Amino acid sequence: MDFLDIIARKKMGEALSEEEIDYFAKGAAGGNIPDYQLAALLMAIRIQGMNRKETAQLTLSMARSGDMADLSRIEGITTDKHSTGGVGDTTTLVLAPLVAACGVPVAKMSGRGLGHTGGTLDKLESIPGFQIDLGMERFIEQVRRIGCAVIGQSSNLAPADKALYALRDVTSTVDSIPLIAASIMSKKLASGSKAIVLDVKTGGGAIMQDLRQSIALAQTMVHIGNDAGRRVMAVVTDMAEPLGSHVGNGLEVREAIEVLAGKTRGPLLDISLELGAHMLRLGVGAADEKEARAKLLRALGNGAGLETFAKVIEAQGGDPRVCENTGLLPQAKIVREAFAPENGWICAMDTTRLGNIAQNMGAGRKAKDDPIDYSVGFVLRRRVGDKVAKGDPIATIYAKDSDSASAAIRGIARAVHISEEKAASGKLLHAVVTAGFVEEL
């Protein structure tokens, strides 16, 4: 097959055949096509787009370019959840044990953070001893026994995506809905779960900052999943400000434990219940959303969700005592407060900047192999819409040294915007997307 001809046809806006797309994915995974030709086709796709059939085929070809997990030995409908990335987004640590406690198995393969967004694996590894590399046999056995496991993705999971994403990152072709959708869904399909709930972020801290684009991305991924025979739906949620108040790996684990213990309420719990209810419904653990929410709240109230989280931690080599004593999590050397510089109302937050502050403190990576400091980050004491007086604490900083703490305080002062007029708090849920309709909320 002549790859130059494939590039030329897509450059002119023609639809590619299944065979051509499969050749493209296999060539990317195997290193048989030069990077410059792969990059040329990526740019042609970015400019000309792909139709629904092309996007679905690219996803399937990328998924089949490596290992395909077989979860058929797990009784029931295995569920998974994926977020397109955000700041303070700790929903997996809350909803996975809650859903499992309600009788629906959660078999989750997660990724690491890169850039201003956090990664679930980095958060879990802040728990002393926690192992994310279990191997497929232990992964399946744990889900069968406990109902939940969260592990790292296999090194041979969707290798075509690894190759293409590296090129997209350096060729300005990241912002393409077909390429984003295929990247995400190829890994989800290869991970093996039968039911998938997608959390598509929108707003200042999201990949897609425009609501219309976020909904279009959600629709594309839902169509791909349903065309592949999976139960898939999406919720478009807000990322104009951090979802949770805690930003930083160990701090986010602490907040998740406090939510599961019933000590903390707020947006993190609200979105976790929303996503978890859809997971229960898709996993046939509840007839409708009302019943699903009732079950989740019961598991929250009687401690079953926290107990399941402790079992997951122990099964994966971690210290389950953190669920009773979060002081066992990594502790920062320096703790300082950031104060409001003036009177007024918090009217907005630069979420990307806040994520970058945590990254610069050592909570995230600038390069793939950068080390992580699990103890650092910050806790926001106010949200958009809150009134503040000059000198009120707006954040608590957890840093490795005084210089890092001072830089974080300066950064938060620039990222948290205060106005003289009262500002309304933003809404958390923007839309629910299924195969049949889009419900804007």
Positions marked catalytic: 82, 161, 168, 183, 187
Residue of 378, 380, 394, 395 whose CA lies nearest to 345: 394
Rounded to whole angstroms, the Cα distance separating 338 from 14 reads: 55
Ranges assigned E (strand) in 172-284: 195-202, 231-238, 246-247
For residues 373 and 405, the answer to whether their CB atoms sit within 8 Å is no
Sign of CA dihedral 61, 5, 45, 16: negative
In contact, 101 and 305? CB cutoff 8 Å: yes
Contacts of residue 428, Cβ cutoff 8 Å, sequence gap at least 6: 237, 238, 267, 270, 271, 274
Q: Name residues whose C-beta falls within 8 Å of residue 115's C-beta, 6 or more positions apart in sequence.
A: 355, 359, 364, 365, 366
Torsion of CA 30, 33, 34, 40, to 10 degrees: -120
Write the burial class of residue 5 (CB in 10 Å: 0-12 exposed, 13-18 middle, 19+ buried): exposed
289 CB-side CA count, 13 A: 5
Determine which helix (DSSP H) or strand (DSSP E) holds 309, and give its type and residue range: helix 304-315
DSSP strand pairing (377-380 vs 393-399)? antiparallel
Radius of gyration of the chain (CA): 22
Gap between the Cα atoms of 78 and 63, Å rounded = 18
